[in-house]
Structure 1
Amino acid sequence: MLALPGRGDPFDRHVLSCALVVAMEDVEQAQAPCLHASLGLHADSLSRLLDQCFPGLEPLEPGVTREGDTGEGAIEEADLRCLLLEHASHQGEVTTWLAHIVARRALKPGHLWQGLGLDERSELSRLMTRHFATLAQQNIHNMRWKKFFYRQLCGREGIPICKSPVCGDCPDYRACFVCDE
């Protein structure tokens, strides 16, 4: 388990460390203009996160700035962030930061746990259960998290997304649900 030295819950620091690493890779590969944009955080939030969770962290790479806004995300990013925050298990900055980070990293291609830099899908499930418990409890069939989020968002808008009236009968069932990755 990767975790930079610092303060706070070790698992939360692990998740934040992983997200920081993949966000820095995005910046280095010119896939994001700056670290906080890759994380979906405002510059001042990133500074607080670093100061609070990783005090004394060496200066970031020269091309990684803490200035500016979060950049443009997809249209559904704000809705996903709101969904997560509505189900927040804890009040506080760490949960808020994680809602922003999860919403931004969900826009990346591939599995969300990989987009967050986590070692395995179970860590994402643990994160969801820890910080967004009432939402995690609704994922009773272990649907892949991104698909689950979009299903929740589409359901709010009254948009049916399943090709069959019962998920088990849908030809895309294996694309949505997993035993564990």
Structure 2
Amino acid sequence: MQAVLTPSVPPFTPAPADSADRAQRIARALLRHAPPVHPDAGFFAAVIGTSLAQGDLARSGLAPAELQELADCLFPGALGGHDSVLSALREQFPAYVEHGLKDPQPGFTLLMRVLLDAYRAPGPDTTQWVTSILAHACLRPDHLWRDLGLSGREDVTALLARHYPGLVARNIHNLRWKKFLAYSAREHAGMPVAAAPGCEGCEDHAVCYPQNR
């Protein structure tokens, strides 16, 4: 079934190198507060670090209450303490609590949440936060792994396999994850498939959707 494109979004602009370096420093500082060998700590540290480095905690996709709960669970002490690397978290969090998380595409993020909840694994107690992050990450015009601050597609595959293994098993054509998740969300709801809101602005849009060139 032919994809239906969403309204135009700004094209992808790579993050400056200094922003990426700062995101990594923040992520490493967060991990100093994490329990040892937690399978999701690196993922959440990367997401929060990337968001802080770009001065936008809403970019994480986590509402203020979710971010507070996650920090208390995985990074206790990160919102307090005196680690200078984490000063951005302490400075940005109060303003984020005041303004909250805005959702420019509530219809799409709801479809994503319904899909991910339908396939969530019974074990991990952090899955609800992964769902929030993924639903909002698909709104932006970048490859999913890079948008999340990860090292590559294989990191996204491992994350999805841990939290939504049945969904990963359905990607038999090895579609890129953002495309696959968006298609699956609409298909799960009985709707025609369509690209994720962020896909049109991606540098590889023509690769994923050659029929629309």
Say whether residues 1:54 and 2:82 are aligned partners: no
Contact 1:105 1:115 in 2 (8 A): yes
Say whether residues 1:78 and 2:110 are aligned partners: yes
Say whether residues 1:88 and 2:120 are aligned partners: yes
Residue 154 of structure 1 corresponds to 186
Distance 1:57 1:160 in 2: 41
Amino acid at match of 1:124: V
- What TM-score, normalized to structure 1? 0.77
Amino acid at match of 2:154: S
SS in 2 for 1:10: coil
Amino acid at match of 1:52: C
State the aligned residue count. Answer: 160
Distance 2:206 2:64 in 1: 40
Unaligned runs of 5+ in 2: 1-23, 81-88, 196-204
Unaligned runs of 5+ in 1: 163-171, 177-181
Contact 1:8 1:53 in 2 (8 A): no
SS in 1 for 2:39: helix
Distance 1:47 1:63 in 2: 13
Shift of 1:89: 0.6
Shift of 1:25: 2.5
Q: Which runs of 4+ in 1 moved over 4 A?
A: none
Residue 149 of structure 2 corresponds to 117
> For 2:166, which of 125, 134, 139 is the aligned residue?
134
RMSD: 2.6
Say whether residues 1:44 and 2:65 are aligned partners: yes
Contact 1:88 1:131 in 2 (8 A): yes
Q: Assess, with a 3 A threshold, how the Cα gap between structure 1 residues 128 and 160 changes in structure 2: closer, same or farther.
A: closer
Distance 1:129 1:15 in 2: 14
Amino acid at match of 2:53: E
SS in 1 for 2:173: coil
> For 1:22, which of 22, 37, 50 is the aligned residue?
50
- What TM-score, normalized to structure 2? 0.66
Residue 85 of structure 2 corresponds to none
> Looking at both structures, which has the greater relative contact order when contacts are Cα pairs under 8 Å and sequence separation is at least 6?
2
Deviations 1:78-104 (A, max 9, x none): 211221111111355410001001111
**Which has the larger share of helix?**
2
Contact 1:24 1:64 in 2 (8 A): no
Residue 167 of structure 1 corresponds to none
Residue 169 of structure 1 corresponds to none
Task: Between 41-50 and 121-130, report the one with greater CA deviation.
Answer: 41-50
